[in-house]
Structure 1
């Protein structure tokens, strides 16, 4: 048995990673301070005209601006693994945050879970000399949680209340052209006003009155992203319905392909829950990733902090993790 131990020395605020230790997998190492800086910069950057590196084709806002995140819980699985439901549907649910995106005003409703992971934005991975995981595979976006675990049409991106329409997508030659797809345009819905009309006319499921049907926007439609941001601003306030939803293709993978592209694990603390609960989960995620030969720091995600400090690193949050295989 080969045993590898990565010690994080909490007493002096120093960890092996901060001191410049090589990344376990051999991927280009990014110190924790640099991770925080890059994530906060990407979160703060408002760019609605992203261009694909190498081709200059238009891409969705996620390509160069804001951050793609996933919420998860601890369990007898790896946090980045696709669930059986996701594999059968062909897609996984993520969400996107950026400093100008309206979020609920009540404690803990900004994100779907209390902990999870954030992926590197394509532009950051390119800058770091890596192959960007989100260069391909992002399918569609919904302004709010679309409860896609119950939607099987077109990999979770189909309209829940009616048939899935097949129609030509906006002409594109970018590298994600075989994945990006949305239903709104095919329903004649091209503006935020038209989307709002659909939302307001849908009475919802009597069992789930807050979960109205939504049509999705093509993930590489810049106007679709603009509409999503506009819609959330219109419906902001105490009754705002949670986070947005971004569907990403599983690409016939268990989720293992995500491991080298996890920038950090995040956790949030809420006033009505044990403050250690979410941090403990993040520490377990970190240990599980480390057991696979990869490392990512744990960061606190705080929506009450100044926008430029949305993520923060604390040495005492990191774990001391003996691992073996």
Structure 2
């Protein structure tokens, strides 16, 4: 191992002490050599860089649910060096130790939850060069204020922001103990571009008396949809405030195939079984109102086709519909949930609580552009945004707006 002379070591320590004293903002110990082992350490570690920070501010809206990138390097960086970063705010975070390789600068990610917990605060981010024995040299801090700005009003970006906000909201009830879909989650219908306008009930739905939607939020674990495009409805509180039509009938914890086989009550009734034969039309009628009761009952049925439907009027039953999805029974397929809405009249797009069109694939984007174009034609020039639903980002913010996705600009 290469040895450092006493003279060289003194020079290094004096240099570091001088760097510390020249910066009045530097905290005690920053830029100070703590260990005097016989290695070739950097003489000083510069502050790390947060490339997403602009003007001394780190915007949570820009992060869109993902972690904050932190990069560090220093003039004598060498393969095999051990480095880390720390986030110092109301939440403290120290990254795992990284060994320097060929990629420079070294990149770290501060978890979004840590950053979000520091909203409205001035925080410090420091880089550390770690010696053997966990002694370390600490950089001058990078100082940043965590903010959350609002998107432009009445924009596609705002719609995506609101979708993500509701998706992340896991409250079980809304104002007045109303069910969760009144104020949170995303009410979404997947469909296809066909001979009828996408917001119109299909011929099969007209016959049934109910239209199938799904209810998405982070703890509902809806990871796929039947089609690659469709539309979203406003939450019921907003729809009611605007006088928009949406009569929610029931919800199934898993897709119930409501258009397949006999099922009464606009798709909410029980499908007949050979033994015992049921002639009732809801979970409550078979004493299923809670998570435990749902599991007990579901053990007795053959498959998802024979589910009972939970209430969209009772907050506890509605919450059970997504709570049971955290632990899927073996006789339930890993599919979306199914929320039934009473059919509405044809050709009334401006009377519906339409919020956006969405897509999940390239083919779905082409369909969503068709929906957006049809909507403008049917509503004398009104506009709704096309929103991307990224099913790989369900643990973060899956909804995003891009102006290049729009068939028509606002």
Q: Secondary structure at the match of 1:118?
A: strand
Deviation of 1:90 after TM superposition, in Å, equals 1.5
Matched, 1:153 2:246: no
In 1: Cα distance, 2:222 partner to 2:159 partner:
23
Q: Secondary structure at the match of 2:306?
A: coil
Q: Deviations over 1:39-98 (max 9, x none)?
A: 1111111221212xxxx3x32211011011101001111001112221222111111001
Tell me, yes or no, if the aligned pair for 2:289 and 2:310 is still in contact at 8 Å: no
Q: Deviations over 1:199-224 (max 9, x none)?
A: 222224xxxxxx44100111021111
* Match of residue 356 from structure 2: 264
Deviation of 1:257 after TM superposition, in Å, equals 4.7
* Match of residue 19 from structure 1: none
* Match of residue 404 from structure 2: 316
* Match of residue 31 from structure 1: 155
Normalized per residue, the structure richer in strand is: 2
* Match of residue 92 from structure 1: 211
* Match of residue 242 from structure 1: 335
What CA RMSD, in Å, does the superposition of the two structures yield over aligned residues?
2.4
Aligned ranges for residues 83-122 of structure 1 at < 5 Å?
83-104=202-223, 110-122=224-236
In 1: Cα distance, 2:210 partner to 2:305 partner:
21
Answer with 79-88 or 278-287: which moved more: 79-88
Matched, 1:131 2:243: yes
Gaps of 5+ in 1: 1-28, 105-109, 166-181, 205-210, 270-275
Q: Which has the higher contact order (CA 8 A, sep 6+)?
A: 1
Deviation of 1:195 after TM superposition, in Å, equals 2.0
In 2: Cα distance, 1:42 partner to 1:318 partner:
23
Cα distance, 1:118–1:38 mapped onto 2, change above 3 Å: same
Aligned ranges for residues 217-296 of structure 1 at < 5 Å?
217-235=310-328, 240-251=333-344, 253-254=345-346, 256-257=348-349, 260-269=352-361, 276-293=362-379, 294-296=382-384
In 2: Cα distance, 1:259 partner to 1:117 partner:
15
In 1: Cα distance, 2:264 partner to 2:350 partner:
24
Tell me, yes or no, if the aligned pair for 1:115 and 1:268 is still in contact at 8 Å: yes
In 2: Cα distance, 1:283 partner to 1:312 partner:
15
* Match of residue 185 from structure 1: 284
Tell me, yes or no, if the aligned pair for 1:70 and 1:118 is still in contact at 8 Å: yes
Q: Deviations over 1:158-177 (max 9, x none)?
A: 01124442xxxxxxxxxxxx
Q: Deviations over 1:115-135 (max 9, x none)?
A: 100011133456xx623444x
Cα distance, 1:307–1:259 mapped onto 2, change above 3 Å: farther
Q: 2:187 aligns with which of 68, 72, 87?
A: 68
Tell me, yes or no, if the aligned pair for 1:133 and 1:258 is still in contact at 8 Å: no
Q: Secondary structure at the match of 1:299?
A: strand
